[in-house]
């Protein structure tokens, strides 16, 4: 965040300088993404590449009701729709084209390590006490990658709830941690692919209902056994490393959410 603060200070200084300097600053290329990632071109439907994948990670939470945005590097209709929803949520022109203003907003809401502003690796770390990213079925780097996608979905959910703060009570779990927590044998928590959350200023049912619009294919909340005090959210449809079917499974009967 220090780089973000420095950029804002630079802009504030520029506003106090003569018009010619202001014009120079305003015309400069978009600032880099706080040491994380910088997009070099405008992206729109039909584009492919690693830069599209980076965008898909950050708009995965704007997939729309019961849908997901695949991280496949192809800027197709789903990515276009997700970008459009992201733009609308942040007051930008909702044209589905990712250009400087869209990237600028993404830079603004992310930190140096590519995590979104309101979530961190520490929050998504070992659900039994921040034990690191090892001890699960995947490498630490792949587990952390999954956790980043979950964090961006949570950021979108937070925005969708009117910026109500979300608290993560359990994120990644090692196998030993998952056993102690009573998790199922092939829990999405083992892959860094899940988060148990509560909200301040929103009910659990509001969280569960809103979660259906933000790319979570696994959702369990009030009324589902063991989930009356939190909402479980995961990305099981995107997990090709587990033993479960790539499908959507939602259940929060007390919130009117039933079935798979």
- Rounded to the nearest angstrom, the gap between the alpha carbon of residue 92 and the centroid of all alpha carbons in its chain is 19
Residues 6+ apart with CB under 8 A from 169: 127, 196, 197, 198, 230
Tell me the C-alpha distance between 34 and 235, whole Å.
Answer: 27
Residue spans of alpha helices (H) in the chain: 2-15, 19-27, 50-59, 77-89, 100-108, 121-124, 140-160, 175-181, 204-211
Tokens of residue 129, six digits: 């006490």
Distance between alpha carbon 43 and the CA centroid of its chain, in Å?
20
| DSSP-H helix ranges across 173-240 | 175-181, 204-211
The question of whether 227 is a catalytic residue gets the answer yes
Terminal C-alpha separation, the chain: 40
Q: In sequence order, what are the residues at sequence separation of 6 or more whose Cβ sits closer than 8 angstroms to the Cβ of residue 227?
A: 220, 221, 252
Which of these is catalytic: 214, 227, 230, 232? 227
Burial class from Cβ neighbours inside 10 Å (0-12, 13-18, 19+) for residue 230 reads buried
Beta bridge partners of 194: 234
User: What residues act catalytically?
Assistant: 227
């Amino acid at each position: 965040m220090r780089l973000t603060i420095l950029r804002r200070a630079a802009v504030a200084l520029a506003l106090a300088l003569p018009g010619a300097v202001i014009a120079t600053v305003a015309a400069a290329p978009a600032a880099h993404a706080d040491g994380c990632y910088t997009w070099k071109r405008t992206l729109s439907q039909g584009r492919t590449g690693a830069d599209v994948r980076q965008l898909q990670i950050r708009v995965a939470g704007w997939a729309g009701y019961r849908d997901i945005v695949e991280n496949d590097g192809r800027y197709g209709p789903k990515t276009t729709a997700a970008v459009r929803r992201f733009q609308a949520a942040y007051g930008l022109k909702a044209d589905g084209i990712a250009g400087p203003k869209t990237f600028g907003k993404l830079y603004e809401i992310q930190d140096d390590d590519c995590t979104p502003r309101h979530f961190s690796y520490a929050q998504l770390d070992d659900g039994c006490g921040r034990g690191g990213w090892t001890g699960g079925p995947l490498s630490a780097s792949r587990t952390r990658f999954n956790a980043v996608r979950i964090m961006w979905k949570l950021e979108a959910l937070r925005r969708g709830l009117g910026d109500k703060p979300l608290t993560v009570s359990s994120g990644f779990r090692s196998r030993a941690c998952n056993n102690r927590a009573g998790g199922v044998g092939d829990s999405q928590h083992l892959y860094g692919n899940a988060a148990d959350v509560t909200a301040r200023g929103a009910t659990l049912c509001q969280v569960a209902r809103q979660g259906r619009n933000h790319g979570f294919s696994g959702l369990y909340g009030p009324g589902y056994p063991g989930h009356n005090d939190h909402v479980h959210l995961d990305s099981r449809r995107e997990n090709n490393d587990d033993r479960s079917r790539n499908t959507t499974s939602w259940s929060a009967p007390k919130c009117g959410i039933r079935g798979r």
